[in-house]
Structure 1
Amino acid sequence: MSIAVPNAAQPMEIQLHAVSRVLEIAFDDGARFELPCEYLRVHSPSAEVRGHGVGQETLQVGKRHVGITALEPIGHYALKITFDDGHDSGLYSWSYLYELGARRDQYWQQYLDKLAAAGASRE
């Protein structure tokens, strides 16, 4: 099943729920997503996580309890997220955040499958 991700969708509201460790984001097309901090951290768009090409990704482990310490808008196109484990590289474009929300179930299951295949843990 393919999900259309609008390139022009803009955030209308961004709210960090620190206790539940969830970033809630509402877009101008009516879409609203709740993105757990752990999910955002393991899907960071940084080169540290994604690598510099296909097959160079680094599996993120032990991120179950990660939180967000800072959010910084970058121009009119992205959000810089600082996590409490020190990770702060990689810019989350609005379109990437929308994609993460729209495909959350699929991407999360893929991550869990990779952890299981590697014998790794979220703890």
Structure 2
Amino acid sequence: MSTTAPVPSRVHYHKKARELEIGYPDGSSHRLSVEYLRVFSPSAEVRGHGGETATLQVGKKNVGLSNITQAGRYALKLHFDDGHDSGLYSWEYLYALIRDHDANWADYLKRLEDAGASREPLGIEIKQL
């Protein structure tokens, strides 16, 4: 599989900050919030099957990661603590999330506003220790 995106040389989860740090061989490093990664999951459950079938993810502000596994030599599988774990984050997709972060996030916030929805979780948040 040929890739145009650089392959990360380091991945570190900052649990307290709920951020995934991705480092590259050129020394650059980028931190993405777990919420951002969750709402832009590449899974069919979130993205749908093309067109306008994507499902707006709401209430994900406090989501974290329970595990990270590598999928072959081309992707990461992120296991979110809300039970979601069906998307594979290819190196290309992760790089696109980094590159397009500001536009993606602004679009997400606009879609939430248009839907009258919130980033805040609904109901009572239950923490497992």
Deviations 1:43-85 (A, max 9, x none): 0000000001110000000000000010000110000000000
- The residue number in structure 2 matching 1:7 is 4
User: Which of structure 1's runs of 4+ aligned residues deviate more than 3 A?
Assistant: none
1:29 CA drift (Å) = 4.0
- The residue number in structure 1 matching 2:126 is none
Tell me whether 1:100 sits opposite 2:102 in the alignment: no
Does the 8 A contact of 2:5 with 2:95 survive in 1? no
Give the aligned CA root-mean-square deviation in angstroms: 1.1
- The residue number in structure 1 matching 2:113 is 116
Which one of 33, 43, 54 corresponds to residue 57 of structure 1?
54
**1:27 & 1:52 partners in 2: Cα distance?**
31
Number of equivalences: 118
**1:21 & 1:80 partners in 2: Cα distance?**
16
Given residue 40 of structure 1, which amino acid in structure 2 is its aligned partner?
L
Deviations 1:13-63 (A, max 9, x none): 100000100000012344321000000000000000000111000000000
Task: Identify unmatched segments of 5+ residues in structure 1.
Answer: 1-5
Given residue 54 of structure 1, which amino acid in structure 2 is its aligned partner?
G
Which one of 25, 32, 49 corresponds to residue 35 of structure 1?
32
Q: Superposition pairs for residues 63-102 of structure 1, below 5 Å?
A: 63-102=60-99
**2:102 & 2:17 partners in 1: Cα distance?**
19
1:8 CA drift (Å) = 3.8
1:103 CA drift (Å) = 1.0
Fraction of identical pairs, as percent: 55
TM-score (norm 1): 0.92
Q: Superposition pairs for residues 12-27 of structure 1, below 5 Å?
A: 12-27=9-24
Which one has a bigger Cα radius of gyration? 2
